[in-house]
Structure 1
Amino acid sequence: MTFRLHLLRSWAAQPRNGLLLMIALIGVYFAYFAIPALTQSNAFGRGEVETGIAPFLAKLPTEIGLAASVLAVVALLGWWQECRIVSRPVGVGFWALLLPALFVGSLISLSILALIGGAETDPPLTSAIWGRVLIFVVLVGIFEEVLFRGIVFHAIERVGGPVVALFLSSLLFGAMHYVNWMSGQPLGATTIQVLHAAGGGFLYGALMLRTGSIWPSVILHALWDLSVGLNSATFGQDQDPSLDAVAAAGDMAPTFLGRIGEVLLYGNEPIYGLIVLLFWLRWRRRQAARPS
């Protein structure tokens, strides 16, 4: 067993082989989600957008398996350090988490205030339900971040460098969400989700580069998913929490300034991700220029 594991790791250590392995892994996960969807009567956009907390609870066992499977792949390949799972964080980079954490925290706070004000959810958010929801969003964060900002990012990084890996892994992350269309979600809503996921993935990847660790992105990703679930449960929205603000900006100010407002509200993640990336590139140049 040890000899076979050594052979696997030696094979995957070759950049080209690692890239092939990454493509195969993406294909396996895509097939896992897509094939069951093809047997449903509402496949290819003939269903509705899932809302509320109930879908989180129903998918909890699946997310446990997905998170365990992707961590098992990392263990088999021995890519703990390469995927920045056990790498030492760069403390000076944690400032980059402040703004996105405040943004997501404000969205969660609005939902909590609505709950305190008497908003009802289905099912009611008891302490047990809260615990299951929190476990669910953390598992989703682990699965998606380890897969895309870990395995996929590292495989592309060895071939094209970190910037290319950031862009391509973000695009792949966004495109992967088209399985929701195959599962019945309307195409328009899915396309918005795909674009948002690609932008969010860009931010998560930039934060990972700046902090040197995947865990800040896992936590931020989990908090974002929590805000989406709470928003749809308390306000009845079928998309992410920023859509209300985007729609309001368009209705109240259908002008050039209104369009700018929409970009800032709905496109804040890729914009901020680009800023973080530029700071990381500057920091890396300074580190390289230091005398050894």
Structure 2
Amino acid sequence: MLARLQNSTPVRLIVLMIAFLALNAAVAAPLSALAETTSPFLAVIVLLLGVLGAVVVIRLYRWVIGKVESRPATELDPANRRSALVRGGLIGVGIFTAVMLLIATFGGYESLGWGSFWATLATAGLMTTVATIEEVVFRGIMFRLLEQLTGTVRALIISAVLFGFLHLINPNASLWGAVAIAIQGGLMLGAAYAVTRSLWLPIGLHFGWNFAQAGIFGAPVSGSDASGGGILDSTLANGPVLISGGEFGPEASLFAVLVCSVLTVYFVRRMKRLSGSEARALVKV
């Protein structure tokens, strides 16, 4: 079996995807249940478990890549870890805040009340694990191996479509919500990985985006209210779904799609400015 994994990229793609998606289900589901709390004690526990879960996933991925691909996992090189995570986190929070300001400006939310600090802490733990596992699965495994098979452009499109499609199993899911997630998460985060060849920036960006949604604004994340809430509590207005995002949450707002598309274009332009063999590999179709 190990030989087949080492010698066949399609087999490696399928097996690793199944294995890490199963890990995602096993870890994220119980953590999500615990995160629905305002208890100070449980909030601290969820935060610690969330960080621990992320560390375990990263170490497991490095070990698997070493065994299966006989190489160090350079996409998780610790050299630039801190700066990339912080930069990604700040960008994620910043662009989601811009989305919420646009939604509020056009009447998409009626009010922003106060939530709970402890719920925010628990949400931070949950989103740490979620962002790490999903980036390992969809960018570290799916996009990277699809890129070897099809080239960067096709890999971006295919992985984005699959990323959005899998969100159809979420509560309050809709076809438009899945399309929006494909554009925001699939294309934006895939492009962030492609331009840096590192998972740290996408992990930070994914965390910042999700944490801002649930941990700051108390809004649903991809249709789910799995966290206990955030510092603020957003009240949905009875307006057009394309403005507010409806029950799916702000990610289904047209403003979220537009804001994330701007960042995606920026990443793609950065890719095009790369030179030499690296640039040729990135734009291979």
Instruction: Normalising by structure 2, report the TM-score.
Output: 0.61
In structure 1, which of residues 178, 186, 191 is the aligned counterpart of residue 172 of structure 2?
186
- Cα 1:119–1:24, aligned 2, differ >3 Å: closer, same or farther? closer
Q: How does 1:1-292 map to 2 (within 5 A)?
A: 8=2, 11-22=5-16, 24-25=18-19, 28=22, 54=36, 68=56, 71-78=59-66, 81=72, 84-86=75-77, 102-104=94-96, 119-121=113-115, 124-126=116-118, 129-180=119-170, 185-188=171-174, 191-199=175-183, 200-229=185-214, 230-231=216-217, 232=219, 233=229, 234-237=232-235, 247=243, 263=254, 265-285=256-276
- Cα 1:277–1:220, aligned 2, differ >3 Å: closer, same or farther? same
Alignment size in residue pairs: 231
Q: Distance in 1 between matches of 2:255 and 2:125?
A: 31
**1:67–1:140 CA contact under 8 A, matched in 2:** no
Q: Aligned-pair distance for 1:282?
A: 3.0
Q: Aligned-pair distance for 1:245?
A: 10
Q: Partner residue of 1:115?
A: none
- Cα 1:85–1:287, aligned 2, differ >3 Å: closer, same or farther? closer
- Cα 1:99–1:69, aligned 2, differ >3 Å: closer, same or farther? closer
**2:271–2:279 CA contact under 8 A, matched in 1:** no
- Cα 1:287–1:63, aligned 2, differ >3 Å: closer, same or farther? closer
- Cα 1:204–1:55, aligned 2, differ >3 Å: closer, same or farther? farther
Q: Distance in 2 between matches of 1:69 and 1:146?
A: 8
**1:208–1:214 CA contact under 8 A, matched in 2:** yes
Consecutive unaligned residues of structure 1, counting only runs of 5 or more, are 1-6, 37-49, 111-117, 249-261
Q: Aligned-pair distance for 1:150?
A: 0.4
Q: Aligned-pair distance for 1:277?
A: 1.6
Deviations 1:55-87 (A, max 9, x none): 796987699668745752552232675571228
Percent identity over paired residues: 18
Instruction: Normalising by structure 1, report the TM-score.
Output: 0.59
